[in-house]
Structure 1
Amino acid sequence: MGYNAWNAFQCNINEDLFLTTANLMVSLGLKDAGYHYINLDDCYALKNRTSSGAIVEDPAKFPSGMRSLTDKIHAMGFKAGIYGDSGWYTCAGYPGSFQHEAQDAHTFFDEWNFDLLKFDNCAIPYDDIIRQGIIGKYQRMADAIAKVARPIVFSLCEWGWSQVWLWGAKLGQSWRTTGDIGPDWPSLANIINFNAFITQATNFYGRNDMDMVQLGNGGLTYDEAKSHFTAWALMKSPLLIGTNLSAITNDVLGILKNKEIIAINQDPVVGESISPFSISSDYPPQYWSGDSQNGTVFMLLNTLNETADMSFNLTESPWIRAGRKYSVRDLWTHTENGTAVRNFTAKAVPPHGVVALLLKDAGDEPDGLYPACSVWYQCIDKNGTHVGG
């Protein structure tokens, strides 16, 4: 969890911006909410390396130097992240790390004292130069990081073209699964839908990275913004804010600071993502669930362009026991909403809106319910009689 300036500022970055951002993270309560990384993205360097091959920070943008910047960030209780690229150049045309991996790792982590590296996938060398697959391309920097004398977070930004979710955990702690996010519902729906098929790749060893949290930059309704944050958090994506904090609204701030949603993302006991439990023609899937240290988590995502009631059978989720009742807590209204027995209906969910629930076992369901099984298909008495519904 933390901050990345690319979505809000792109190359318009400098030392003052990052120190101002760090101060705002504190004053707005985001640091206390769990956002602990302040990450640089592209465009911080000069376009040419030194004669000895070193990357140099742009003195016009960072006059005090990178080590001074990270010292100040660390003194405020944050960790600091830096950006690099596995090819000849970064995506914005600055020096990439190909054939300079060990040198750049020394610069980033020993000299500049950064704690995280986002490593991109632009400017790929010709085949007769690289002579390896995409894993080997990222392995070069992973090997260099392994020689650093302290833990470094290695965030692979490979865009998912080479099924990075299958191999990313061998090299790093997170891996981008799609192209860049856009500030609109079609982009969110595409990313959520794509990641619905690879939720099993996320756990404590590493996480599917669904890109930065794109709130407050225009293009999303309030309900879409809630859906965006809920999906990212409950699917255990890294939560990196990509908003201009100087212009943040109270609505966006309230979404980013929802402690009950953040608690699912940061669960110290359960590392797995929620997953769809009802697959149909919906794009993306509407009904999701997963385990947590405090109960079963549900996400109901209204993908329609109109308000809708959303209903499901509890035991469609593999985390729910048949024959039990469950207390229902709404993670957005922060209210206890009674007890669910067999089924639950969320009324009037807004277009592209979301409901996030935490269900806890509350004992046996009432006796005498008909039919004898909430899911009656193949439900049979011990004498062989179908129970029916």
Structure 2
Amino acid sequence: MHRTLSLLVGSCLLASLLQATDAAGGETPPMGWNSYNKFGLGVHGFLVRETVDGAKRYKLDEAGYKYIVMDDGWPERELAADGRLVPDPNRFPEGIKPLTDYVKSQGFELGIYSSPNKRTCGDWPGSLGNEELHAQQFAEWGVKFVKYDYCPTRNDEQETGREEIIRRYRVFTEALNKVDPEMVHAICEKGWAGSLSRRQRKATNGTVTAEQRHAAFAWAPELGTMWRTTGDIKANWKRIMQILDMQEGLEELAGPGAFNNPDMLEVGNGNLTRAENRAHFSLWCILNSPLILGNDLRNIPDDVVEIITNKEVIALNQDVLCKQGKIGYSRDGVQVWVKPLKNGDTGVLILNRNDEPVDFTFNFADASLEVNAYIVRDLWAKKTLGTINQSLKLEIASHDVKVYRLGIP
């Protein structure tokens, strides 16, 4: 009888989880891949085709991944005489439109890169002064995602003011809306308008409060689908934790169709351990972040495939309520993150930031959860634990997570 009840409870919880995934539509965080983390400025057409083939082979489309984004380095070094961007004929001999058609034929959408400066961060031409023309080019090519990267250092514009930075993004948003209102606009401004860039903070020796961080990005939801909240990520645990800490104060900015972006995923890159890869991916899911992979999709290790295609964890990210998770409480290097879900369930992530395993008791009341008993499903073990009263005793490996979906009995 207990086993029958447990199976029934588990199947009901799993059904609600999968329903959240199916209902995602266009209002939930974008999912896809970007070339920069793994390939830097070396993107080319053949790489994009091979990446699409790999994404299809590993069934990433079935897990929800949609966009294949080319980062900086795809055009020729100078604009055409009429101001148009010209694909580098050596890197993209077929141009962009046939590449877009191939990406679409495999069930994905092509994304592209430009900048609200005269030059991009890698010193290719940007879109400043040609916003409508370039937006029209992107639409004609069938592009569905634009990463728009503010590059003040390359252009000696470190002193450009907040209003001018926001004005440039507004102009491009309006240009995109004229040609394709559904195109993803990925703002990559990294806090310059709010004086939060690393260079700006170093100059003033200033720390950043949660309130200052919120104010710095309060303009972004009106203009973008997603907006970068930090400088570049790196494939090491220390940097991932630094970026995690920089999300405090941003929670209320996120909602359907608008998302804080703590940068692309490094899962599968560098020397991250399996636990760190799992924790990194889970944290971006609980943060309601866009899930933009940054690894080599042509040859993905089995353990990385298992992580990036876990539909139950992804469902936390793609839940249609689009609430960003918050820290419920912290104790002795362990953080408990809580994310409300549309059907009344709650996503919970417990992170061990320590360099050694810990025994930890997760007390529901400490996380301000509303009831004393929950149906608990372990999303990495893919197992329903049954109805748990008040607390859950855990052993968590170093730099690892436990992720649960809690349902009211």
Question: Aligning the two structures, in what range does the TM-score lie when normalised by the shorter sequence?
Answer: 0.7 to 0.9
Residue number in structure 1 paired with 2:325: 274
Residue number in structure 2 paired with 1:327: 375
CA distance in 1: counterparts of 2:157 and 2:177, whole angstroms: 26
Deviation at 1:280, TM superposition (A): 6.2
Deviation at 1:307, TM superposition (A): 0.3
Q: What pairs with 1:11-50 in structure 2 (closer than 5 Å)?
A: 11-50=41-80
Q: What is the CA RMSD across the aligned residues, in angstroms?
A: 1.9
Residue number in structure 2 paired with 1:142: 173
Q: Is the 8 A contact 1:88 1:125 kept in 2?
A: no
Residue number in structure 2 paired with 1:373: none
Name the TM-score, length of structure 2 as normaliser.
0.83
Q: 2:255 aligns to what SS in structure 1?
A: coil
Which string of whole-angstrom CA distances, capped at 9 and with x for unpartnered residues, describes residues 140-189 of structure 1? Answer: 21121121145211110011342553111110110000011100000110
1:301 maps to which of 351, 360, 365 = 351
Deviation at 1:279, TM superposition (A): 4.7
Alignment CA distance shift 1:202-1:68 (3 Å): same
The structure whose residues are more often helix, as a share, is 2
Q: Is the 8 A contact 2:54 2:299 kept in 1?
A: no
Q: Is the 8 A contact 1:287 1:298 kept in 2?
A: yes
Tell me, yes or no, if structure 1 residue 312 matches structure 2 residue 343: no
Residue number in structure 2 paired with 1:385: none
Residue number in structure 1 paired with 2:142: 113
Q: What pairs with 1:170-319 in structure 2 (closer than 5 Å)?
A: 170-268=222-320, 270-279=321-330, 282=333, 286-294=335-343, 295-318=345-368
Aligned AA (1:157)? C
Q: Which has the larger radius of gyration?
A: 1
CA distance in 2: counterparts of 1:51 and 1:153, whole angstroms: 28
Deviation at 1:303, TM superposition (A): 0.6
Q: Is the 8 A contact 1:184 1:220 kept in 2?
A: yes
Name the TM-score, length of structure 1 as normaliser.
0.87
Structure 2 residues without counterparts, runs of 5 or longer: 1-30, 195-212
Q: 2:90 aligns to what SS in structure 1?
A: coil
CA distance in 1: counterparts of 2:98 and 2:169, whole angstroms: 29
CA distance in 1: counterparts of 2:219 and 2:361, whole angstroms: 37
Q: Is the 8 A contact 1:81 1:117 kept in 2?
A: yes
Alignment CA distance shift 1:289-1:150 (3 Å): closer
CA distance in 2: counterparts of 1:30 and 1:180, whole angstroms: 24
Aligned AA (1:116)? F
Residue number in structure 1 paired with 2:93: 63
User: How many residues are aligned here?
Assistant: 355
Which string of whole-angstrom CA distances, capped at 9 and with x for unpartnered residues, describes residues 296-326 of structure 1? Answer: 11110001111001223212334x324x411
Deviation at 1:210, TM superposition (A): 1.2
CA distance in 1: counterparts of 2:261 and 2:244, whole angstroms: 11
Alignment CA distance shift 1:301-1:24 (3 Å): same
Which string of whole-angstrom CA distances, capped at 9 and with x for unpartnered residues, describes residues 229-257 of structure 1? Answer: 00001111111111112232101111000
Q: Of the two structures, which has the highest relative contact order with CA contacts closer than 8 Å and spacing of 6 or more?
A: 2
Tell me, yes or no, if structure 1 residue 169 matches structure 2 residue 221: yes
- Of all paired residues, the percent bearing the same amino acid is 33
Which consecutive segments of 4 or more residues in structure 1 shift more than 6 A? 127-131
Structure 1 residues without counterparts, runs of 5 or longer: 363-389
Q: Is the 8 A contact 2:117 2:126 kept in 1?
A: yes
